[in-house]
Amino acid sequence: MASHPELTLCYIPRVVIPPERRRHLATALLLSAILLCTATAANEPAPRFTAVTTTGEKFNNATIKGKVVLLEFWTTWCKFCVAEADYVDKLDKEYRDKGLIVLAINVGESKKLVKKYLEAHPRSCRIVLMEDTNLAAMYEATVYPIYVVIDKDGNISDEQRGAGGEEALRRLLEPAGIGAKPGTVYE
Strand 146-150 with 50-53, pairing: unpaired
Residue 29 clears pLDDT 80, i.e. is over it: no
| pLDDT of amino acid 42 | 62
**Spans of all domains in the chain:** 43-176
Residues 51 and 60: beta-carbon distance below 8 Å: yes
| Amino acid making up residue 136 | A
Give the pLDDT score at 159.
Answer: 94
Secondary structure element (H or E) that encloses residue 41, with its range: none
Write down the pLDDT at residue 129: 95
Q: Parallel, antiparallel, or unpaired for β 156-161 and 68-74?
A: unpaired
Residue type, 83: A
pLDDT at 16 exceeding the cut of 80: no
Q: Mind listing the pLDDT tens digit for each residue in 64-110?
A: 999 999 999 999 999 999 999 999 999 999 999 999 999 999 999 99
**Alpha carbon distance, N-terminus to C-terminus of the chain:** 52
Query: What share of the chain in percent tops pLDDT 70?
Result: 73
Please tell me the pTM assigned to this model.
0.74
Four-way CATH pick for 43-176: 3.40.30.10, 3.30.70.20, 1.10.1280.10, 3.40.50.1390: 3.40.30.10
